[in-house]
Amino acid sequence: MKLRRTLLIFFTLIIFSAFTPTEWKAEKHSGYVVRYTQQDELTRAAYISIFDQGKKEAQNFFSEAYRSDFEVKIHPNRQSMDTQWQTDWKMPDFKSECWMVASGVATKLDLLSPARWKEEVCEHSYEDKEKTQKLITHEMVHVFHGQWNKSPDFSEVEQLDWWVEGLATYASGQCDRQRRDEVKKALTENKLPSTLDKFWSGKNRYGLSGSVVMYIDQKYGRAKLIELLPLTKKKELLDVLKISEDQLLADWKKFVISLN
């Protein structure tokens, strides 16, 4: 009898926990609300200082403020984040790759809890503070960009992965010396993608996309980058710069070669 009762309680608990929805807590900060679960109760203070820093860096880069408050959601595990992305992106079968840890749009930054990175993430280590900060700043730039874009969740943005990702990469400092050197090497070896549409792919995607935005910034200035923020099509962007894609690529190549 005793064993049966113990088993009954045990299975009831398992079933109960499987069907209990995740309990989210909310905390207001300057310009955003953090949503988190019990798992991050104690560690969230450390994350929040990274969020604050990322938000500050994005604003400093553009010398402009965020246009509205947003939400930062710290998912307790990859399953929670995948479920969120499946709903947000209307892709019910979506399963994230192991290197995917965060995303940002105008209203929200989703992040897989760093407490889970050791078990559920490849390529990123939370302990590498500098890279972790840049990663969060990158997402904060996406949030900023979304708030200035005609398509706040980027769903209508076409042929501009190189620009959206390149901007976040460059503004967050991820287009570092090492990545620029790798692009330079690929250029001298004639191993570059032939169009901008392919720049955000492969192992050099950060360096390729980031250095194009770095070039646009140096040639046209920061005010021009801000002017480009609302755009959703590659042609619109090239029209504002008054340049063809071929010419932009040719000028960018010279710029990359000149980089130290």
Which residue lies nearer to Zn ion by CB, 43 or 107? 107
Beta bridge partners of 36: 25
Report, in Å, the least distance between residue 206 CB and Zn ion: 9
Which residue lies nearer to Zn ion by CB, 40 or 165? 165
Token duo for residue 51? 């969020």
Report, in Å, the least distance between residue 146 CB and Zn ion: 11
* CA dist list (Å): 169 to 107, 109, 136, 163, 174: 20, 16, 11, 10, 5
* CA dist list (Å): 153 to 31, 137, 149, 232: 18, 18, 8, 11
Report, in Å, the least distance between residue 200 CB and Zn ion: 9
Report, in Å, the least distance between residue 139 CB and Zn ion: 7
Considering only residues 120-159, where is the footprint of Zn ion by CB under 5 A?
none
Q: Of the listed pieces 78-86, 160-168, 173-181, 234-242, which binds Zn ion according to CB under 5 A?
A: 160-168
Give the integer Cα–Cα distance in Å for 148 and 26. 26
Token duo for residue 203? 């192992």
Q: Of the listed pieces 6-14, 161-169, 196-204, 248-256, which binds Zn ion according to CB under 5 A?
A: 161-169
What one-character-per-residue DSSP string does 113-146 give? -GGGHHHH-SS--TT-HHHHHHHHHHHHHHHHHH
Report, in Å, the least distance between residue 5 CB and Zn ion: 53
Q: For residue 95, give the 3-state DSSP assignment.
A: coil
Which residue lies nearer to Zn ion by CB, 16 or 99? 99
Which residue lies nearer to Zn ion by CB, 110 or 165? 165
Which residue lies nearer to Zn ion by CB, 143 or 168? 168
Report, in Å, the least distance between residue 82 CB and Zn ion: 17
Which residue lies nearer to Zn ion by CB, 135 or 231? 135
Report, in Å, the least distance between residue 142 CB and Zn ion: 6
With CB under 5 A as the contact rule, the residue among 115, 140, 160, 168 that binds Zn ion is 168
Comparing CA positions, the residue from 170, 168, 178 lying closest to residue 203 is 178
Q: Of the listed pieces 86-94, 162-170, 227-235, 246-254, which binds Zn ion according to CB under 5 A?
A: 162-170
Give the integer Cα–Cα distance in Å for 138 and 200. 15
Kind and range of the H or E run holding 74:
strand 70-75
Number of amino acids touching Zn ion (CB under 5 A): 2
Judged by the rule CB under 5 A, the positions of this chain that interact with Zn ion are: 165, 168
